[in-house]
Amino acid sequence: MTKSVKAVSTYAFENLHFKKVMSYIDVNNTASLAIPKRLGMLLEGHFHNQVVLDGVMKDMLVFSIFPSK
């Protein structure tokens, strides 16, 4: 999955001229939380009760990455 996220981010920066790519991840999804850490993404925030999944309010962590210079 890390390679896929890296590929999508690279495409977004190089072809779509994005200035920032963000990732919202459930705080309890430890496997997914490893991906932004491996890619060096910046933790921007912890949003409490951000989304409802399976009828339960979930906290989300927000990570971002910027194009490399």
Q: What is the pLDDT of residue 6?
A: 93
pLDDT at 7 over 70: yes
Q: Exposed/middle/buried for 27, CB within 10 Å: 0-12, 13-18, 19+?
A: middle
Q: What is the pLDDT of residue 68?
A: 82
User: Which domain does 36 fall in, by range?
Assistant: 2-65
Q: What is the pLDDT of residue 69?
A: 60
Tally of domains in the chain: 1
What one-letter code names the amino acid at 62?
Answer: V
User: What distance in Å separates the CA atoms of residue 44 and residue 58, rounded to the nearest whole number?
Assistant: 17
- The tens digit of pLDDT for each residue in 28-62 reads 999 999 999 999 999 999 999 999 989 999 999 99
Give the CATH number, domain containing residue 59.
3.40.630.30
Contacting residues for 36 by C-beta, under 8 A, at least 6 apart? 5, 23, 25, 43, 63, 65
